[in-house]
Structure 1
Amino acid sequence: MSTDEHLDPIPDRFILQPPVFHPVVPYVTTIFGGLYAGKMVMLQGVVPLRAQRFQVDFQCGCCLHPRPDIAFHFNPRFYTVKPHVICNTLEGGLWQREIRWPGVALQKGASFLVLFLFENEEVKVSVNGQHFLRYRYRLPLSRVDTLGIFGDILVKAVGFLNINELPCSRTLPRGLWPGQVIVVRGLVLKEPKDFTLSLRDGATHVPVTLRASFTDRTLAWVSSWGRKKLISAPFLFYPQRFFEVLLMCQEGGLKLALNGQGLGATSLDQKALEQLRELRISGSVHLYCVHY
Structure 2
Amino acid sequence: MDFWTNPPPVYNPPIPYVGPIPGSLQDGNMIQIKGRVVPHSNRFHVNLQCGTEPGHCDVAFHFNPRFECPGYVVCNSFENRRWSSEERKHELPIQKGETFQLLILVQNDSYKVAVNDKHFLEFKHRLPLSRVNTICIDGQVEIVSLSFIKNQIQPAVPAGIGNNIQPAVPAGIGNNAFPFGPTNPFQAAPMFGPATPANLQVPFKAPIAGGLFPSKSIFIQGTIQPNPDNFVINLKPSNSSDIAFHISSRFRSEQAVVRNSFIQNSWNKEERNLAKNPFVPGQQFEITILCEAQSFKVSVNGCHAFDFNYRYQPIQQINELQIQGDVTLSKVLL
User: Is 1:126 aligned with 2:117?
Assistant: no
Q: Residue 124 of structure 2 is aligned with which of 136, 145, 152?
A: 136
- Give the equivalent residue in structure 2 for 1:261: 310
**Where does 1:32-51 land on structure 2 (aligned, <5 Å)?**
32-51=22-41
Provide the aligned length of Structure 1 versus Structure 2: 201
The Cα of 1:163 is off from its aligned counterpart by 3.4
Q: Which structure: greater strand fraction?
A: 1
The Cα of 1:231 is off from its aligned counterpart by 9.3
Take 1:132 and 1:96, find their aligned partners in 2: how far apart are those partners? 21
> Which structure is richer in relative contact order (CA contacts within 8 A, separation 6 or more)?
1
The Cα of 1:119 is off from its aligned counterpart by 1.0
User: Is 1:218 aligned with 2:219?
Assistant: no
Q: Is the 8 A contact 2:34 2:146 kept in 1?
A: yes
Q: Is the 8 A contact 1:244 1:260 kept in 2?
A: no
User: Is 1:73 aligned with 2:69?
Assistant: no
Q: Is the 8 A contact 1:231 1:263 kept in 2?
A: no
The Cα of 1:164 is off from its aligned counterpart by 2.2
Give the AA of the match of 1:73: H
**Where does 1:154-173 land on structure 2 (aligned, <5 Å)?**
154-164=142-152, 167-168=167-168
Give the AA of the match of 1:234: A
The Cα of 1:54 is off from its aligned counterpart by 0.8
TM-score norm. by structure 1 comes to 0.58
1:206-227 residue CA offsets vs partner (Å, 9 max, x unmatched): xxxxxxxxxx97388xxxxxxx
Q: Residue 113 of structure 1 is aligned with which of 101, 109, 124?
A: 101
Take 1:18 and 1:149, find their aligned partners in 2: how far apart are those partners? 18
Partner secondary structure for residue 71 of structure 1: strand
The Cα of 1:263 is off from its aligned counterpart by 3.0
- Give the equivalent residue in structure 2 for 1:23: 13
Q: Is the 8 A contact 2:36 2:98 kept in 1?
A: yes
The Cα of 1:188 is off from its aligned counterpart by 3.7
Take 1:131 and 1:49, find their aligned partners in 2: how far apart are those partners? 24
**Where does 1:191-270 land on structure 2 (aligned, <5 Å)?**
191=194, 193-194=209-210, 218=237, 232-234=242-244, 261-263=310-312
1:37-62 residue CA offsets vs partner (Å, 9 max, x unmatched): 11111111111121111110001011
Unaligned runs of 5+ in 2: 154-165, 174-187, 195-207, 212-234, 247-289, 295-307, 315-334
The Cα of 1:193 is off from its aligned counterpart by 4.6
Give the AA of the match of 1:168: A
Q: Is the 8 A contact 1:219 1:235 kept in 2?
A: no
Q: Residue 59 of structure 1 is aligned with which of 49, 62, 66?
A: 49
Partner secondary structure for residue 130 of structure 2: helix
Identity of aligned residues (%): 32
- Give the equivalent residue in structure 2 for 1:13: 4
Unaligned runs of 5+ in 1: 1-9, 171-183, 196-215, 221-229, 246-258, 266-292
- Give the equivalent residue in structure 1 for 2:72: 84
Cα 1:69–1:130 change in 2 (3 A) is same
1:170-215 residue CA offsets vs partner (Å, 9 max, x unmatched): 9xxxxxxxxxxxxx675644457547xxxxxxxxxxxxxxxxxxxx
Take 1:41 and 1:169, find their aligned partners in 2: how far apart are those partners? 16
* Pairwise CA RMSD: 3.8
The Cα of 1:67 is off from its aligned counterpart by 0.7
Cα 1:169–1:129 change in 2 (3 A) is closer
- Give the equivalent residue in structure 2 for 1:272: none
